[in-house]
Amino acid sequence: MKNTLILLICSLFLFNCSNRYVFGTKCTSPDKLTGAYEKSFIWSVNRTMSDESFGKRISRENCPKLTKKS
């Protein structure tokens, strides 16, 4: 019962932090020096950010393509 209550309270805090969520595997642009990038399935986005602006910074096309090892 305690675990359920804690989970419910935590989810309320998370849902109030942002106004919308974007689902699907998306990545940030890789860093030019190190090649580091961020990849996630759930992105929390503020409503003041437009879809166009979000799409330029974070998109599926930014995810590096993995090559198969033989």
Contact 51, 37 (CB under 8 A): no
Partners of residue 41 on adjacent β-strands: none
pLDDT of residue 67: 52
Global pTM exceeds 0.75: no
pLDDT of residue 68: 56
| 28, pLDDT greater than 60 | yes
Per-domain boundaries in the chain? 19-62
pLDDT of residue 16: 61
Strand ranges (DSSP E) for the chain? 20-28, 39-45, 58-59
When pLDDT is averaged across residues 38-64 and rounded to a whole number, the result is: 85
Partners of residue 28 on adjacent β-strands: 58
Query: To the nearest whole percent, how much of the chain has pLDDT over 70?
Result: 81
